[in-house]
Structure 1
Amino acid sequence: MKTAPKPRGPWIHRFSIRLFTVILAILVYWVLGFLVGDIESIQGPRYSEIEKEYVDQALVEQEGRLAESIAEIDRDIASKREEMQIVSDSSQNLQKTINQLIELQKVTVQESAVLPEAEQINLSESLESFLDSQEKYQVYNEELSELMDQKRGLESERLDLEKEIEGQREPARSEYERLKENHDLRLAMLQLLILVPLLAAGAFLIVKKRDSIYFPLFAGYGAAVLLKVSLVIHEYFPTRYFKYVLVIGLLIAVVKLLIYFIRVAAFPRTQWLTRQYREAYERFLCPVCEYPVRTGPRRFLFWTRRTVNKIVLPNKAEEERPYSCPACGTPLFEECPECHGIRHSLLPYCEHCNAEKEIPDASSVRNI
């Protein structure tokens, strides 16, 4: 009974299958992200509540009052400096006016004239205002100095208070870190409790259904779940633990793949053998030892895998005959028992009558 070959379909269909496999993986990863996000929204420990249990709230309130007092003094200092700046500007203007009046008086004396009475009154008033400004500036300066002393005293008191509070916050932080680590671990376990069965189901489907026409569905689903599980492990588990998990997982995967390819090479399935034999025949190389198949017009030619398509064949036609590899003895061409034509020994169908034969495995290929 002939085995029907699997149709590959047009390239647009193959491209669409790969495209929608990737889209399926993205959508599955997206849905898993929603699921993981909902689990992550579970409320964990609050530092403010833990701090209340370890830190004296009276000290915290006192620290707040000191901070308010310091802020109020800062505002007073800023206001006092503005007033001093105004007085300083006024003093400078008065000093300029006095200097001008003194210069005018000098000129008047040099010219043996008399300074007008209005100018003399103006000079006297300017001097009095200048002295008042200097006195007021001195008072403001003393008040500013007192405010700075008060601020330094309050800051020193707040610094001592902060040291005392910081000593009480250390155990609060340690307790918070412990509770948060336990909470994160519970979240990770809850997420893995959901994701690991999904990953196991994906691995089972990939292994059991690898020959199914719906294999791309299982492959896309399994890849998305595997990526999400890896990210969850990387996020919640410490790096020193995650690297061991990652390396062990990669070791298991590599060993599994190595065993698989060793078994495929040692005990290949029929479809792999057929493909191997077909590719060897296409290059006119022995499927077992890759010695050139020198039969027909290629009898006296030389080629390799790279140069096989560059060889120019002579037009001389030769009778087809059975042929075995002279290097390993593998029969490559034989007489068909149905039509008695020359057919490929290692391919399933006769090119003349389409008669089918069983493909020999690697262990018996030389004993045909």
Structure 2
Amino acid sequence: MKILFYFGGFAPIGGIETFCKNLLCYLQNHNYDCQLVCWGPNSPLLQSIEQAKIKIVRNPWQWGCRWNLPDWLLLPLGIKQIKQSNIVLFGKLLPIEILKRLKLQIGNSTKLVYITPYRPLVPTAIQEKKQLLDALNLFDLILVQASAFIEDLHQIGYQGRIEVISYISQQPSNLKPLPPNEQLQIGFLGRLVEDKNIPLLLEAFRCFQEKYLQTYIAENNQQQKPSLHLFGDGHLREQLEQLAEKLGIASSVVFRGSIPNHEVEDAIASCHLFAFTSHTEGQCLAALEILGCGRPIVATDVGALPDILSDSRLGKIVKSTNPNEFADNLMEIAKLIEQQSISPEMIRSAYLEQYAPENVGDRYEKILNSLLPLSS
């Protein structure tokens, strides 16, 4: 079976890009003929895909273009490759005119699959809703990461086939112990952009630090102030650094910058727990990577995070966006760590019960094969 991942713009780093690499590598290792079509600069992620013997057809166009020009320039290459494929996966929703042109070039034997990168949002304008529905109806299957996303698609009007399946993460390496307890370290892993709502995280950390110092420093003078480590970069970094200064926590907040893919597990292992305060999310592949490394998570009630953290052994979901309430939940997890009521071994075990890469990959195989039963 020939499987093509028609990606569009492939960023040097990102959750959906990393998932693309993980899925293609898994399928390639299980004797599928995989290929990636994309535009954008070369990157370590793309190089790792090439090292897995996956063919990449890439237009090296860079970012910052209007009118979807890079996607249109990629179209001739895409049409050529899509005609040779049995299944075409889309990790992003391309402009409908491009999708229509691609659809015209294939027969019923080639199946189109859309993998949602974020929770589907129902447009308020009637025309926008109709246009989105027209685009969704071009697909033979839509894969979502949480059951709540199905209702969103139904509200848009989509009545086609939908399957719920998580992103596939890479197999975690040897489990690393928690850092020494002299200083509690909270981590964040992701881009410093609006969707991640880092201002709430900084405000919640300030509240948490106050609560933590009142609880523990008075009992143990050797205990140091907790610190917050932000692994990732983005255009909001300078603004967030200024906010940390304004909140009086700059000395305890460390902006680590972008982390190469091969250093992510070490970055995760350097912290005791992680926090996400996002406005919106899809699967949040970073959360799966963190849990695979045996670290708990406190997160807002968005995207697939409620499904991921439905097992209380993995962390807590916070339904409020009040910084003080988020801080209370951080305190609960910090106490469990201090009491040794949760451990990296317990967290990884609970994570693997639901998200073991081999099990998730096997399910992707079964879903994709079901689209072409005669070819499998």
Provide TM-score, normalisation by structure 1: 0.17
Hey, which of these two has a bigger chunk of helix by percent?
1
- Return the index of the structure with the highest Cα Rg: 1
Hey, which of these two has a bigger chunk of strand by percent?
2
